[in-house]
């Protein structure tokens, strides 16, 4: 068994320094601190993603949907679903990705390496 006390893990630099808590062939857990005013701009991941607001509040948008997420809010995103996350006052979020990595996660990067 492994465990983490998410409120005690340092996230210096906010969103610029995500902390990978666990990563294996099936799944990945990442803790992200958002400093006040920071955001994860419009983006997508290839994996299914769950986002849990651990501390603070986050504004989450996906398409026409928007949510003011308080601590304890869990949001699920489909693979390739575009979304953004922002926090006016700061927040700590846990991101769970599965499967990790998705079959096409490194596709573009590997193609670029093959081209030299």
Using the CB atoms, write b or e for 66-103: b if 16+ within 10 Å: eeebeeebebebebeeebebbbeebbbbbbbbeebbbe
In tens, the pLDDT along 40-87 reads 888 888 889 999 999 999 999 999 999 999 999 999 999 989 999 999
Question: Could you state, in order of their start, the residue ranges of all structural domains in the chain?
Answer: 16-115
Residue count of the chain, please give it.
116
Domain 16-115 classification at class level: mainly beta
For the entire predicted model, the pTM comes to: 0.84
Q: Contact at 8 Å (CB) between 20 and 28? A: yes
In tens, the pLDDT along 96-108 reads 999 877 776 666 5
């Amino acid at each position: 068994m492994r465990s983490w006390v998410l409120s005690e893990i340092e996230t210096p630099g906010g969103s610029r320094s995500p902390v990978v808590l666990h990563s294996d062939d099936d799944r990945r857990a990442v803790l992200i601190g958002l400093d006040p005013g920071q955001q994860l701009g419009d983006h997508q991941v290839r994996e299914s993603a769950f986002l849990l607001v651990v501390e603070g509040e986050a504004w989450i948008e996906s398409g026409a949907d928007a949510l003011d997420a308080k601590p304890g809010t869990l949001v699920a995103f489909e693979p390739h679903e575009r979304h953004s996350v922002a926090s006016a006052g700061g927040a700590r979020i846990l991101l769970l990705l599965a499967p990790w990595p998705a079959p096409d996660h490194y596709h573009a990067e590997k193609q670029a390496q093959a081209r030299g």
